[in-house]
Amino acid sequence: MNYSRRIIGSLLVLLAVMLAPSISKAQDRPEEKLGWKLGTQAYSFNRFTFAEAVAKTDSCKLKFIEAYPGQTIGGGVEGKMDFTMPAEKRAQVLKLLKDKGITLVAFGVVNADSPEGWRQLFEFAKAMGIKNINTEPKQEDLPLIGKLASEFKIKVSIHNHPNPTHYWSPEIVLNAIQLANSEYVGACADIGHWVRSGLDPIACLQKYKGHINHLHFKDLSEKSRDAHDVHWGTGVGNIKGVMQELKNQKFKGMMSAEYEYNWLANSADIAASVENFRTYVKELK
């Protein structure tokens, strides 16, 4: 009997040890229960190398990153982040990410100049394990982009910058999605740029329902082109309402923290925003 109890006790201890990482993950990153991958847009750290952006992402208690074209790689790797980089360079970047435990989920905002360039971009994304390409393409490229997205089974998301840029309004983006004609093509909702354009982010998300692949997440100081980033939940962007709407829509995908302010020391701002975000997640209905 005592022997059996010892066996059962040992099994319970082993089970507790095995479950501990998943329990800790659920507590530390509650958003993942909703299918949300909260990470950074490396552009937040554009005064630094990509290697430094990866380290800063880790310091913010995040495990996902969106890279952008043109950032110096760093970390002992020559060159810049670009979809034309050779296989050897791609392998070095992937090792850099693996060493920090960070996953590269998205790349953008990026465009290509030719059909060959678009195919090369998709081949790069496939090789790097990238799940989503954020872009603001020419209208005439949309049918090709849709075909490539379906062929490679990689999501493509039309990103919005503020008015007067072409894709500033949800209606224009939705029309582009229709022209691409692929289940893999949707929207990258930049909620801060909607605020800069005088739009209500929740109303815009509702227009996008069923088409949201990715988000650029930010909160702003005011509703104008002169606004700057502030800690999430302290600005005019109605972050709690945005999060509730995304949960209501059963959105699943990456949200890139993009903090375009206090450029030399904004990792602390992102960390504070992440802390607020995770508090709000637990309060969602």
Could you give the CA distance from residue 220 to residue 204 in angstroms, rounded to a whole number? 16
Domain co-membership, 121 together with 195: yes
**What pLDDT is stored for residue 23 in this prediction?**
44
**What pLDDT is stored for residue 9 in this prediction?**
53
The DSSP symbol for 214 reads: E
Tens-place pLDDT, residues 92-148: 999 999 999 999 999 999 999 999 999 999 999 999 999 999 999 999 999 999 999
**What pLDDT is stored for residue 240 in this prediction?**
99
| Alpha carbons within 13 A on the beta-carbon side of 208 | 35
Beta bridge partners, 212, equal: 187
**What pLDDT is stored for residue 185 in this prediction?**
99
> What's the CATH code of the domain at 88?
3.20.20.150
Beta bridge partners, 255, equal: 38, 215
**What pLDDT is stored for residue 25 in this prediction?**
52
Domain co-membership, 109 together with 90: yes
Domain co-membership, 266 together with 223: yes
**What pLDDT is stored for residue 7 in this prediction?**
67
Could you give the CA distance from residue 186 to residue 177 in angstroms, rounded to a whole number? 6
The number of domains in the chain is 2
Domain co-membership, 119 together with 143: yes
Domain co-membership, 210 together with 106: yes
Q: Model-level pTM?
A: 0.91
**For strand 77-80 and strand 72-74, is the pairing parallel, antiparallel, or unpaired?**
antiparallel
Strand, coil or helix: what is 80?
A: strand
Domain co-membership, 127 together with 263: yes
Domain co-membership, 87 together with 170: yes
Handedness of CA 96, 100, 103, 104 (dihedral sign): negative
Beta bridge partners, 256, equal: 39, 216
Residue 190 sits in which domain range? 35-283
Beta bridge partners, 165, equal: none
Could you give the CA distance from residue 12 to residue 10 in angstroms, rounded to a whole number? 5
Which amino acid, 225?
R
Domain co-membership, 11 together with 75: no
Residue partners of 174: CB distance under 8 A and separation at least 6? 187, 207, 208, 211
Domain co-membership, 4 together with 136: no
Residue partners of 186: CB distance under 8 A and separation at least 6? 155, 156, 157, 158, 177, 208, 211, 212, 213, 214
The enclosing H or E element of 7 equals: helix 2-28
Strand, coil or helix: what is 32?
A: helix
Joined tokens for residue 25: 């993950």
Domain co-membership, 145 together with 221: yes
Domain co-membership, 17 together with 101: no
**What pLDDT is stored for residue 2 in this prediction?**
56
**What pLDDT is stored for residue 17 in this prediction?**
39
**Cβ atoms of 37 and 253 closer than 8 Å:** yes
**For strand 253-257 and strand 36-41, is the pairing parallel, antiparallel, or unpaired?**
parallel
Domain co-membership, 11 together with 77: no
| Alpha carbons within 13 A on the beta-carbon side of 161 | 10
CA 53 to chain centre: 14
**What pLDDT is stored for residue 67 in this prediction?**
99
Instruction: Give the residue from 154, 94, 91 showing the smallest Cα distance to 122.
Output: 154
**What pLDDT is stored for residue 184 in this prediction?**
99
Residues of the chain predicted below pLDDT 50:
13, 15-24
Could you give the CA distance from residue 126 to residue 156 in angstroms, rounded to a whole number? 13
